[in-house]
Amino acid sequence: MQSALDQFRISIGRVRDLIALHNSVKAQATSALDLSDILRASLVLVVSALDYYIHEVVTLGMIEIHCHQRLEPNPPANTSQSAFSRFQVSLSAARQERIMAIDVASWLENEIQQSYGSTFIQQSHTISFLIPVISSSIANKLNNNVSWLENEIRETLSYKSFQQPDKIADAIRLISDKKLWEEVAVKIGRPTKNIKQQLSLIVDRRNKIAHEADNANTTKVNCIAATNLLKFLPS
């Protein structure tokens, strides 16, 4: 989780540097020089930073839940499963754990031999002594063999954009049952509706810049608002 937050802060720092560059050059240049594209680039980058951050937080959070390092979110009202439990993976990917389960005897022997030496296998041990050894070996195997799950999560989420408030909230439900925007509102000290509306405006302006060659003169206001708003997102 921390790695995602660190990368987000680096990205936001780049945005602030671009805004500072814009302000510095503008103070020294004539009005004939149009510097607004620097602000447009900043706005595109800040939304991309948010999108990437949500993708990373959700991916890492789901892996932590799978490895029992994080609690699975509670199911929403009138449902029996959480969004995490409903997340779908391909059978070819899930087969990795099935292969391990089918061949558990030979795998355990090899694992214990590597960890404790060949003489350990040849000695007699009580069941009470072996249980924690076997349990530890299986736990380590499951926790270290999650590359297939990470690939599945990233593949599925790669087709989704986490920029608009409702889409972000849907993503966070995969790893948390907290009401995201209410938590953000408490953190920032502003109404939930106001925060979501402002973020929507920022994302809409980003889309106009990226897809419609937008040249509206409100980009600077939205860009500064974006850097002030997004830095409060929880980790």
Residue 189 domain-assigned (yes or no): yes
For residues 61 and 159, membership in a common domain is answered with yes
For residues 59 and 155, membership in a common domain is answered with yes
Residue 75 domain-assigned (yes or no): yes
For residues 138 and 28, membership in a common domain is answered with no
Q: What is the pLDDT of residue 235?
A: 41
Residue 95 domain-assigned (yes or no): no
CA distance 135 to 152: 26
Query: Beta strands of the chain (E only): which ranges?
Result: none
Residue 97 domain-assigned (yes or no): no
- Give 83-108 pLDDT, tens digit per residue: 999 998 887 766 766 666 666 667 67
For residues 141 and 159, membership in a common domain is answered with no
For residues 116 and 176, membership in a common domain is answered with no
Residue 28 domain-assigned (yes or no): yes
Residue where one domain finishes, among candidates 128, 145, 162: 145
For residues 76 and 180, membership in a common domain is answered with yes
First to last CA, the chain: 7
Residue 210 domain-assigned (yes or no): yes
The CA dihedral of 187, 235, 168, 159, to the nearest 10 degrees, is 160
Residue 98 domain-assigned (yes or no): no
CA distance 218 to 43: 11
Q: What is the pLDDT of residue 234?
A: 44
Residue 6 domain-assigned (yes or no): yes
Range of the domain at 160: 2-88+151-230
Q: What is the pLDDT of residue 62?
A: 93
Q: What is the pLDDT of residue 39?
A: 85
Coil, strand or helix: which one is 189? Answer: coil
For residues 118 and 215, membership in a common domain is answered with no
Show the low-confidence residues of the chain (pLDDT under 50): 233-235
Considering its fold, how many domains does the chain have in total? 2
For residues 136 and 164, membership in a common domain is answered with no
